[in-house]
Amino acid sequence: MGKSQQTGWEVRAVLAGLLAWLVPGLGHFYLRQHWRGTIFLAVITSTFWGGVAIGGVKSTVDAKLHPAWFVAELCTASNAAVGLFLRSRLPEVKPNKPSPYVATWPADDIGLVYCGVAGLLNVLVILDAIARGAPQAGKVWPARSPPAGGGAR
């Protein structure tokens, strides 16, 4: 493989990873693996927003109260950005007053875990997109051949 071809594959792999970070499954769409991308988009997005529905956007998408979970949520860039936007547009919650935007224990913790797990799942999707975007150096996959001995016995 020439230097220019190798650089093209590296750019393709990095771009697939970046797109997968921006929107779960988009890196696989870029690599023309539409079914895989659709499944990743549906599973990760529904997990994230299911967590927001369970825990409330004020409880789940909070960088100050839950910084480690928030870092995990940032691995789904578009979902976290929309969650932050919605959180900023909602009215402030007064202490000791019920609010539809903040859940009580244990629902707030469950929602937080759902959102964080969605982000961590997307890390695996990002790595998969990068791996599928870059060919393995010098590795040629042989065509599948029948088993020796003429098949089933």
- Split at pLDDT 50, 70, 90, the class of 134 is confident
How far is Cα 109 from Cα 94, in angstroms, rounded to an integer? 20
Burial class (CB in 10 A: 0-12, 13-18, 19+), 16: buried
Q: Give the global pTM.
A: 0.79
How far is Cα 100 from Cα 123, in angstroms, rounded to an integer? 31
- Split at pLDDT 50, 70, 90, the class of 108 is confident
Quick one: pLDDT at residue 107?
81
- Split at pLDDT 50, 70, 90, the class of 141 is low
Amino acid at 29: F
Question: Helix or strand or coil: residue 79?
Answer: helix
How far is Cα 114 from Cα 54, in angstroms, rounded to an integer? 9
Which candidate, 118, 127, 126, 120, places its Cα nearest to that of 43? 118
Residues 105-126 as b/e (b if ≥16 CB within 10 A, e otherwise) read: eebbbbbbbbbbbbbebbeebb
Between 5-14, 59-68, 76-85, 108-117, the lowest mean confidence (pLDDT) is in 5-14
